Amino acid sequence: MEERQVTVEGKTRRLKDPFYVIATQNPFEQSGTFPLPESQLDRFLMRISLGYPGRDAEKTLLRKGDVQQSLSDLGPSLTNGDVMRIQEQIAQVHAADTLLDYVEDLLLFSRSAPDFALGLSPRAGLSILRAARSWAFLWGRDYVLPEDVQKVLPWVVGHRLRAKEDYREFSHENLLKIMLQVPVPT
């Protein structure tokens, strides 16, 4: 993913920009589903659980029946150029040195806290910052606040951190409670 290329039958092909991967994961309880190793999980920016659709949305789905036809009826919302311009604007969202220190403090805390089996990687820090910049951009700001970091933190690090005692995942609430032990810059 990070190399922005794929190799099929010995031939490497560069992928066009904008490039991103959206993957789905079946529950581990299903036959033939296995957890990814930490090194592979770390390459995903976020993990978001969508859950089931609401009653009205599911009724609409049942009424329409053919999902493939509905998908083919959708048109693009943005062009490739639009996506690349937005990505460039997000990259320009300012993160002050104190905010960078805060992200680094979160990383260092995760590496030394007794709660976690493994700490967050430098790649996780980059992901936290990228997601926080995106969140700030969505709210119309050209600067990142510590609250932006806290808002995206559970989705960015939830799939990266495991409990030391039994290697289980943390709920978003418990993860945020632990990580809020890191002082917020003023």
In the chain, what are the domains? 5-179 (1.10.8.80)
Q: Which residues of 84-117 are buried (b: 16+ CB within 10 A; e: fewer)?
A: eeebeebeebebeeebeebbeebbebbeeeebbe
Q: State the residue for tokens 């709210």.
A: 139
Amino acid (1-letter code) at residue 50? L
CA–CA separation, 25 and 12 (whole Å): 26
Identify the pLDDT of residue 125.
Answer: 96
Q: How many CB atoms lie within 10 A of CB 176?
A: 16
What local confidence, expressed as pLDDT, does residue 68 receive? 78
Contact status, residue 182 vs residue 99, Cβ threshold 8 Å: no
Q: What is the pTM of this model?
A: 0.83
Instruction: Give me the pLDDT at residue 80, please.
Output: 92
41-69 core/surface letters (b: 16 or more CB in 10 A; e: else): ebebbebeeeeeeeeeeeeeeeeeeeeee
Per-residue model confidence (pLDDT) at position 28: 62
What's the average pLDDT block by block, 10 residues per block, for the chain (186 residues)?
84 88 71 72 78 90 80 86 95 97 95 90 95 98 97 91 84 85 89
- Residues 179 and 106 sit within 8 Å (Cβ to Cβ): yes
